[in-house]
Amino acid sequence: MSGGIVLLLVNCCVAALFACSYFVVARWNGGDRAVMAFSAVYTIGLVTPLSELAIHWAPHPLLMITSYAGLLLSLLMMSVALALFGRRTIPWRSIAAIAAGGLALRFAIWGGKRDELLYELLYQLPFAIALLLGASVALRLRHRKLLRYGLATFLTVIAVNFLVKPVASGILRSGTTAGDYADSAYALYSQGISGILLTAAGLFILLVVTETTVRRHLRASETDPLSGLLNRRGFEQRATAMLAAAGEGCRIAMIAIDLDRFKSINDSHGHAVGDEVLRVFALILEENAPWESLIGRIGGEEFAILLRDATEEAAASLAETIRDATANHRDDGIPPFTFSAGIAVREADETLAQLMRRADLMAYRAKDGGRDRIARYPDRPLPVAAVS
From residue 388, give the alpha-carbon distance in Å to each of 199, 273, 348, 374.
66, 20, 36, 13
Helices (H), the chain: 3-28, 33-45, 47-57, 61-85, 92-108, 117-139, 145-172, 185-221, 232-245, 262-269, 271-288, 312-327, 352-368
Q: Are 158 and 198 in contact (CB under 8 A)?
A: yes
Whole-angstrom Cα distance, residue 216 to residue 29?
A: 9
Which of 116, 120, 301, 302 is labelled catalytic? 301
Q: Are 343 and 254 in contact (CB under 8 A)?
A: yes
User: Which DSSP state fits 381?
Assistant: P
Q: Are 342 and 362 in contact (CB under 8 A)?
A: yes
- The CB density around residue 90, as the number of other CB atoms within 10 Å, is 15
Q: What is the DSSP string of 191-250?
A: HHHHHHHHHHHHHHHHHHHHHHHHHHHHHHHTB-TTTSSB-HHHHHHHHHHHHHH--TT-
Q: Is 301 tagged catalytic?
A: yes
Residues taking part in catalysis = 301
